Amino acid sequence: MTETGFWSHPLVETTGYFSVVVLCLIFSMVLFELVTKYNNWEEIRKGNVAVAMATGGKIFGVANIFRYSIEQHNSLPQMIGWGLFGFFLLVVAYLLFEFLTPKFHIDKEIEEDNRSVGFISLTISVGLSFVIGASIS
């Protein structure tokens, strides 16, 4: 098998995309950890369902954005660039959610296990990931 043939084999490409997206997902979760005022993984360990829903929505949202990016871009650098740009837009959406709810603080409500707020956060992340994904494709 030629070098070009090896690198273009679907199993190799899938493994490459998977590996890069997992690394980008870890990177994005670290950034979300810095954006929120609570410790996501500590709260999840304690059984905080609102944090689990909000974090799950972020994970789904980022993975969905990268799905669109993989589908629409021909090179790994393009896929990473557009995926990270989509992730940036998801962070902006989270900050806007906090800003547009002046009657209460999203982070505080989620940290206190307000599942209604956690569910809305999940829904915003998932819903906007489809919009962001469609726009970067």
Tens digit of pLDDT for each residue in 13-59? 888 889 989 998 999 899 888 888 899 999 999 999 999 999 999 99
- pLDDT of amino acid 9: 77
DSSP state of 8: T
- What is the structure's pLDDT at 7? 65
Judged by average pLDDT, the poorest of 13-27, 55-69, 112-126 is: 13-27
Using CA atoms, how far apart are residues 132 and 137, in angstroms rounded to an integer?
Answer: 9
Supply the pLDDT for residue 117: 95
Q: Which residues, including other chains, have CB under 8 Å from residue 43's CB and lie 6 or more apart? A: 51, 52, 111
pLDDT value of position 37? 87
Segment 115-126 shows an average pLDDT of 95
